[in-house]
Amino acid sequence: MIVFTYLTHRNIHKTIVLANQRADRQLRRMIFIEIVLVIIGFLPYGINSAYSLLTSNIAKDRNQLEKEYFLLTIVSLFPYIYYAVRESLQTRNFNLK
């Protein structure tokens, strides 16, 4: 994603028409929104996975296991939020044109 952003930004500055339309600002905004959505969507799942890995050798009672399973269920929904918001934004942008 970083390489794509850099190459696209460089290409926009080489193209005079796109530079005049301030496409670089639009691109930065789109990439920033994409990065925020990825962080919101996938960071909680990564943290939960790291927690599960670090506490795998610890004996847990049934109540603790149920809490962890419930949290895993909630955290597993976050990637769907990423995809839903992303699709919603893409649909809205296509309708504006």
Asked if the structure places residue 43 within a domain, the reply is: yes
Confidence at residue 42, expressed as pLDDT on a 0 to 100 scale: 83
The interaxial angle of helices 23-54 and 62-75, nearest 10 deg, is: 170
Eight-class DSSP state of 55: T
Q: What is the mean pLDDT of the chain?
A: 80
pLDDT value at 96 more than 60: no
Q: How many domains does the chain have?
A: 1
Note if the pTM is more than 0.75: no
Asked if the structure places residue 68 within a domain, the reply is: yes
Q: Which residue has the tokens 């639009």?
A: 26
Asked if the structure places residue 63 within a domain, the reply is: yes
pLDDT value at 89 more than 50: yes
pLDDT band at 37, cuts 50/70/90?
confident
Residues spanned by the domain of 16: 2-91
